Amino acid sequence: MAGEKVKTFKFIIVGGGIAGVTCAEQLSPEFPSADVALITAGLHIKTVTNYKQVSKTIEEFDVEERPSSVLEEKFPNLTVIHSAVRSIHAHSHCVETLDGRVFGYEKLCLCSGARPKLLAQDNPFVLGIRDTDSAQEFQKRLSKAKRIVVVGNGGIALELVYEVEGCEVVWAVKDKAIGNTFFDAGAAQFLVPSLEADKPKADVPCRRPRYTTEEPAPGAAQTFTADGSSRGQSSGSVEPGSALGPDWHRGVELRGAEQASRRVSVEYQCEVDQIFSFEERLRSPQQTLNPESDGSWPVYVQLTNGKTFGCDFVVSATGVVPNTEPFLHGNNFAVASDGGLQVDDHMRTSEPDVFAAGDVCTACWEHSPLWQQMRLWTQARQMGWYAARCMAADVLSEATELDFCFELFSHVTKFFNYKVVLLGKFNAQGLRSDHELLVRCTKGREYVKVVLSRGRMVGAVLIGDTDLEETFENLILNQMDLTPYGEELLNPNIDIEDYFD
Ligand code: FAD
């Protein structure tokens, strides 16, 4: 250990994102005479506001990016330390920051989040979007771009291809349908026409979180075009800030260098084979380019389907890697196969008195049959809150039970301007092949899918303003045998809410 211990805190929380801030906000008032520290690498912290428990497990809230002084003013026993943690010495219960200070702790909670898994490290033409800085860099580069290639099929890619205007987007997905992380092919079909249409003007108030910051922001393939036509073709920074969340693009103009509105072409079932520069291309002219890709582009992306696209830059949206590196050296943290710190049902890591929450951890307890971990905003809040409860119980030698929020997976978001609610095993994840699906779809209005296993509802996807979330949540939680209702369950002429009252 380089320096002398500056101070010992009862609780240290590492990370100023949703998980860390929620944890600190719980612990500080519960132990008003104890010293609490929040150590964070970023300049701002993320706070949850307007929290609303919509139903038993569904919640909605806004998130604001704020200066850390807001927290210190609210909780006099809380100190915010702006520096990255360089190492942890679990054995001697202390952490060392990049600026050389050493702080002791009784209980530690690691909430350092995750960063984008980049297709290529140190390639200036490959961008990942994670925090406010990277979103601003993306916006700046986009304003001069005529074509970008987006790689990935999760939430970030989905939002991005929908939002970008004035720049051609080539979207490479490894699956047979778009949005595979969240939906099946049916839901993807429902959403695809939205890529063909012009984006509705932003006159509808946004119900999901908005960011405010103290500093001014600087600045076989199918082709869908905004005019409605559809063509068929054969065939990390050292000190990361906290992750963005839903609506990260609101208030940020995602416009390229062209006049046209949206033009997205999707390349299905392919991955990136290699990325090479203009100079490298000149050196190996045998690269097969698509006719429209010929010409000079700063970078070229060769896909596993044999096509090569020239573009201004590539967005790598292929998932995240938990930020664990500074903690692993010299300690015995058990790390899960996805790179997260393993935590048990009390959010404890394998090191004594060290807890973890949010994107950095992997939930390694035996999950409820209706819950799965996804690195999402809601789960970061729930885990941060529950970790605080477990740390407090540990200090007070009290027992705690796994919180009810881990009983049923629920997530509310927006894709392509539709409200999207996902419940339980919404994509039949891990179910036996004898599960059944019931679907109701009205083009342009709603897509409702329920997943039944042995007559019981175990999951649902609700796209549009269906108002079915609470009823379906209840049906999933109470595991009522729905066999007698058959397909009537989704009969639009039956008011299902009254039916099951
Ligand atoms: P983070 O918010 O990443 O916070 C980590 C904190 O740790 C940061 O303050 C960072 O500065 C700090 N830190 C990191 N390393 C260190 C260190 N060594 N020492 C000290 N501090 C450190 N989720 C949704 O639910 N819905 C969405 O629609 C959605 N959209 C998203 C869109 C984008 C573009 C992105 C990037 C994410 C999106 N997410 C979404 C995911 C969601 O934002 C994350 O799951 C959530 O923010 C994770 O919170 P966290 O507190 O665990 O980590």
> What's the CA-to-centroid distance between 181 and ligand 1, angstroms?
18
Q: For residue 19, what is the enclosing H or E element?
A: helix 18-30
The predicted structure's pLDDT at residue 230: 36
Using CA of residue 340, residue 343, residue 347, residue 353, what is the dihedral sign?
negative
> Into how many domains does the chain fold?
3
Q: For residue 151, what are the domain limits? A: 116-208+247-316
Interval between CA 278 and ligand 1 midpoint (Å): 34
pLDDT at residue 221, as a whole number: 43
pLDDT digits (tens, 9 = 90+) for 229-268: 333 333 333 456 777 766 667 667 788 888 777 789 999 9
- Kindly provide the b/e burial profile for residues 41-71, where b requires at least 16 CB atoms within 10 angstroms of the residue's own CB: bbbbbbbbeeeeeeeebbbebbbbbbebebb
Residues 31 and 131 in one domain: no
The CATH number for 45's domain is 3.50.50.60
Phi, psi of 383 (to 5 degrees): -70, -40
What is the CA(203)–ligand 1 centre distance, in A? Answer: 28
Ligand 1: residue of 359, 361, 386, 419 to mutate (most ligand atoms within 8 A of CB) is 359
330 and 359 share a domain? yes
Query: Are 145 and 122 part of one and the same domain?
Result: yes
- Give per-10-residue mean pLDDT for the chain (501 aa): 81 97 98 98 89 90 89 96 96 96 98 92 90 87 95 90 92 91 86 79 40 34 36 41 69 80 89 88 64 75 92 93 96 97 98 98 97 95 98 97 96 90 93 90 93 95 94 95 88 76 64
Residue whose CB lies within 8 A of the most ligand 1 atoms, among 21, 136, 376, 385, for a mutation test? 376
Of 316, 332, 363, the one marking the end of a domain is 316
Give pLDDT, residue 82: 95
In the sheet that holds 147-151, the strands lie side by side as 126-127, 313-316, 147-151, 167-172, 262-267, 222-225, 230-232
224 is a domain residue: no
Entry pTM? 0.88
- From ligand 1's centre to the CA of 89, what distance in Å? 24
Q: What is the C-alpha to C-alpha distance for residues 408 and 137, in angstroms, rounded to an integer? A: 37
Which residues lie closer than 8 Å to 446 by C-beta, 6 or more apart?
440, 462, 463, 464, 465, 466
For residues 338 and 443, state if they share a domain: no
- Please state the atom number of ligand 1 nearest to the C-alpha of residue 384: 51
Nearest protein CA to atom 35 of ligand 1, as residue: 244
Same structural domain, 194 and 294: yes
Q: How far is the CA of 244 from the centre of ligand 1 (A)?
A: 6
**Collapsing DSSP states into helix, strand and coil, what is residue 194?**
helix
Say how many Å lie between the CA of residue 113 and the centre of ligand 1.
5
Nearest atom in ligand 1 to 411's CA: 25
Q: What is the pLDDT of residue 246?
A: 61
Residue 257's pLDDT is 87
Taking the centre of ligand 1 as the mean of its atom positions, its distance from the CA of residue 243, in whole angstroms, is: 3
Backbone φ, ψ for residue 460 (5° rounding): -160, 150
- What is the whole-number distance in angstroms between the Cα of residue 464 and the centre of ligand 1? 27
CA 50 to chain centre: 20
Q: How many CB atoms sit inside 10 A of residue 79's CB?
A: 18
Query: Are 149 and 28 members of one domain?
Result: no
Q: How far apart are CA 15 and CA 131, in angstroms?
A: 13
68 lies in some domain: yes
Is residue 288 located within the same domain as residue 166?
yes
Same domain, 178 and 258: yes
Are 75 and 145 contained in the same domain?
no
The token pair at 377 is 């905003």
Residues with C-beta less than 6 Å from any ligand 1 atom: 14-20, 39-42, 84-85, 111-113, 129-130, 155-156, 240-246, 248, 323, 326, 358-359, 375-378, 380, 413
The edge-to-edge listing of strands for the beta sheet with 308-311 is 272-277, 299-303, 308-311
Let me know whether 468 and 343 are in one domain: no
pLDDT (tens digit, 9 = 90+) per residue, 183-223? 888 898 898 888 877 766 654 433 333 333 333 333 244 33
Q: Which of 13, 18, 65 to mutate to test the pocket of ligand 1 (most atoms within 8 A of CB)?
A: 18
Q: For residues 288 and 159, state if they share a domain.
A: yes
Check whether residue 349 and residue 477 sit in a common domain. Answer: no
By residue count, the chain amounts to: 501
Q: What is the pLDDT of residues 353-391, one digit of tens each?
A: 999 999 999 999 999 999 999 999 899 999 999 999 999
